[in-house]
Structure 1
Amino acid sequence: MRRAWILGAVVVLAGVVGLGALYGRDYLDGMHFEKAISEIDETEVANGGPWPQPQETCVFCHGAHGQSVNAWYPALSGQPEAYLVAQLHAFAGGQRSNPYMGPIARELTDEQIQSLAAYFARQTPAQSEAVRAEAALEKRGMALVAAKSCQACHGASFMGRDQVPRLSGQGAAYLAKQLVAFKTGERHDPSGAMNGMAASLSGADIQAVASYLASLTPGGSDARKQ
């Protein structure tokens, strides 16, 4: 009887060893995968709440963490929270017209808008594109920015504040498009300041200003003085 028990134990042990050889690696891989997912989830919770978050859908146009790498789309990273809230409400209410952002913004609750704004505001910004402006164009843009006192509202390093956006390092194409929109009245600044300023710029001026601002490093000290 005892011999039969011992033989049975040996058979069971051999089976366990065999299963371990067959599936042990898969089991360990599964444990590693679960651990990785858990760590990712913990990071997401710390960063902006449990996954998925509304900002996940923003990546297609605005880039990972809101850092656009396409000069046509604005970077949201490092933008002032109040500015992001105001613009999302403007898109939702139709004060700022956009065939894509309008429908998206209207689907967001006030709480989601606040959460998105807080998330993107705390992301580290970077240049949206590598800009190699001609020396003459850059000098013209820098002179125009100084003459129009853009730093008075957008800050000494053009990082924005309150409901005024960060311009430093934004894509040149996006900046130029917005200046044209303010110039034509397609986009309206509640204070009227941007519309009045843009109206005084020629097409060449707009390209120079956009190129200069796009060449700046966000948070850097290269908002160069004449």
Structure 2
Amino acid sequence: MRIALVGILSLAVVGGSLARAADLAAGKAKAELCTGCHGESAISQTENIPSLAGQPDQFIQWQLVFFRSGSRKSEQMQPIVEQINNDDIRNLGAYFASLAPPKAAQPDDNPDLSQKGAQAVAGRRCASCHTDTFAGTKAVARIAGQREEYLLKALHEYKSGVRSGGGMAAMADVAYPLSEEEITALAHYLAHF
């Protein structure tokens, strides 16, 4: 039943975005709810909270639908998503996608770890979904320049099966066999990419 509900909501949100253009001004106004955690200009300064600036529109929309339906859990997000409707989701997706993404963490204080991360990225074929620049596309997340500790958290959640939502099956397959060293190297490399 929950899967059917998520599917219906997803079609209403993502499909509806083709019928109506998003309102960036409305998205910016609604994004004020997000600033406290996700930061000014949607670039997080808070540990374990992702930056949303530059994330693909559809990715943001899907994640909000997953949070709102309860298929993706977050105590912090639940009270927020209860306050938004489908138009808000469409507008937030477009607004966050319109923002300049965060710059990669500089300087790279551990180039050897980044080199191991580059090898892990190639071996796990991360670019096949996240693109060669790791900027994401459509419903696939931007991971380039994301907060390092958040990337660690996300990879651990995929590996353990705690995180669900779009891409779960693909990410679980990729993350499950990763060693702790590979997870650390991947997160470091992508944060500095």
User: Does the 8 Å contact 2:103/2:145 carry over to 1?
Assistant: yes
Give the whole-Å Cα distance in 2 for the aligned partners of 1:189 and 1:144: 24
Give the whole-Å Cα distance in 2 for the aligned partners of 1:142 and 1:85: 29
5+ residue gaps in structure 1? Answer: 1-45, 217-226
Q: Does 1:197 align with 2:170?
A: no
Q: Does 1:212 align with 2:182?
A: no
Give runs of ≥4 in structure 1 deviating > 3 Å: 128-131
Return the offset for 1:127.
2.4
Could you give the per-residue CA deviations for residues 17-45 of structure 1, whole angstroms, max 9, x where no partner exists? Answer: xxxxxxxxxxxxxxxxxxxxxxxxxxxxx
Paired residue for 2:87? 111
Give the whole-Å Cα distance in 2 for the aligned partners of 1:210 and 1:182: 13
Give the whole-Å Cα distance in 1 for the aligned partners of 2:113 and 2:101: 25
Paired residue for 1:75? 51
Paired residue for 2:129? 153
Return the offset for 1:128.
6.4
Q: Does 1:188 align with 2:155?
A: no
Could you give the per-residue CA deviations for residues 6-27 of structure 1, whole angstroms, max 9, x where no partner exists? Answer: xxxxxxxxxxxxxxxxxxxxxx
TM-score (norm 2): 0.82
Paired residue for 2:147? 171
Paired residue for 1:92? 68
User: Does the 8 Å contact 1:66/1:76 carry over to 2?
Assistant: yes
Give the whole-Å Cα distance in 1 for the aligned partners of 2:27 and 2:108: 40
- Using a 3 Å threshold, how does the CA distance of structure 1 residues 50 and 179 change in structure 2: closer, same or farther? closer
Paired residue for 1:31? none
Structure label with greater radius of gyration: 1
TM-score (norm 1): 0.70
Pairing partner for 2:40 from 64, 83, 92:
64
Q: Give the secondary-structure state (helix, strand or coil) at the position aligned to 2:66.
A: helix
Could you give the per-residue CA deviations for residues 109-143 of structure 1, whole angstroms, max 9, x where no partner exists? Answer: 11111111111110111226445342221111000
User: Does the 8 Å contact 1:133/1:211 carry over to 2?
Assistant: no
User: Does the 8 Å contact 1:79/1:165 carry over to 2?
Assistant: yes
Give the whole-Å Cα distance in 1 for the aligned partners of 2:40 and 2:163: 27
User: Does the 8 Å contact 1:70/1:128 carry over to 2?
Assistant: no
5+ residue gaps in structure 2? Answer: 1-22
Give the whole-Å Cα distance in 2 for the aligned partners of 1:50 and 1:108: 11
Give the whole-Å Cα distance in 1 for the aligned partners of 2:72 and 2:27: 30
User: Does the 8 Å contact 2:71/2:165 carry over to 1?
Assistant: no
Return the offset for 1:188.
2.4
Q: Which amino acid aligns with 1:87?
A: Q
Give the whole-Å Cα distance in 1 for the aligned partners of 2:159 and 2:110: 24
